[in-house]
Structure 1
């Protein structure tokens, strides 16, 4: 694979770059779409999946938001804890067992796409699904470049990964527009999330770990 672009690219350029590198690959390909809240991860992942499907590829869409921990685990360090937001939001054990291992290049292909329903705060055990030997697995979510999602050799588990670059102020503005949350990045009511994501960026440097950085601020 060619060296990744040095500077962030546009959304259109990023889609083209990814499709051109995914199409020639054999077997299963794992692609991560990472970014802060409001970066546009789900939308971009959907657009990429559509482009790949139009190219004749089989695509499996997974969202890490469907692998949450129960509320008592998510808030074990307090409802305002940025560290707790990073450490306790997601059930990585289920995510690895149900998605990463079975859908990896050497996995059995027997996977589940979700383990938790946030709306009802209910654990889920849906029927197993079976992926074809040749498929592209597109995963969107927060914190996808953290150390916990690296293999025994310390390398990321993704065949390709993306960091959607969006300033914190724009992220908060989008969330306020979408969810009615506070629009001020310094509002204490959203400190857990804003500071947690700042800690993630400082600690794990996802833009450096990603294969592609896309300017998704517009």
Structure 2
């Protein structure tokens, strides 16, 4: 078993028994979606039913996201996501007393299309694994039974995005100000590494490290 597999197995063992809502938070390029998928697989290997959802399916439409300007860090931090839709479509149904009737997206960020997906009922006792940006913000306080904050320096995460998306590899490049500075606004407002139940340094994808703080 690799170091990463051991860490994922350890984290899966930390998820509370029974139905639970798990957040996988972190900046762009830190590896949230991959980690969430691998955590979901580790939970399933323990015999637990899992539903995996990405907050990327709950963006506001482009006109709302860019209403402060296409390059605005404040707009990225404040206007990116439709939190009422995320709550009503996912987090409340999986919460205490919820009916487990959910839908995994309301918006396609690539096409800017509003989606009207059918509602699906999750298995009894299902673990929700939700990955996304800004999950430790005030609007979502109390919505998770276990939360993870993945961390890595911007020099690492921005380089990963460059390799993936063809964007600039320099965190200080003007084209990245919206994203880097927007995430720094989140750090200043919420200090997510302090709110999370678990912090994982994901700088080395092969050797994630449990526990270090950022900031």
Structure-2-length-normalised TM-score = 0.90
The range that moved more, 111-120 or 136-145, is 111-120
3-state SS of the aligned residue for 2:25? strand
Query: Are 1:164 and 1:216, in contact at CA under 8 Å, matched by a contact in 2?
Result: yes
1:25 aligns with 2:1: no
Partner of 1:47: 38
* Candidates 79, 84, 87, aligned match of 1:88: 79
1:30-49: CA deviation from partner (whole Å, max 9, x where unpaired): 00000000000000000001
Partner of 1:66: 57
Q: Distance in 2 between matches of 1:58 and 1:127?
A: 20
* Candidates 8, 13, 20, aligned match of 1:15: 8
Count of residue pairs the alignment pairs up: 202
* Candidates 149, 160, 171, aligned match of 2:146: 160
Identify unmatched segments of 5+ residues in structure 1: 1-9, 151-155
Runs of 4+ that moved beyond 6 A = none
1:79 aligns with 2:70: yes
* Candidates 116, 119, 133, aligned match of 2:107: 116
1:16 is displaced (CA, Å) by 3.0
Identify unmatched segments of 5+ residues in structure 2: 205-215
Partner of 1:140: 131
Q: Distance in 1 between matches of 2:21 and 2:4?
A: 20
- CA RMSD, Structure 1 to Structure 2 (Å): 1.3
* Candidates 99, 110, 135, aligned match of 2:90: 99
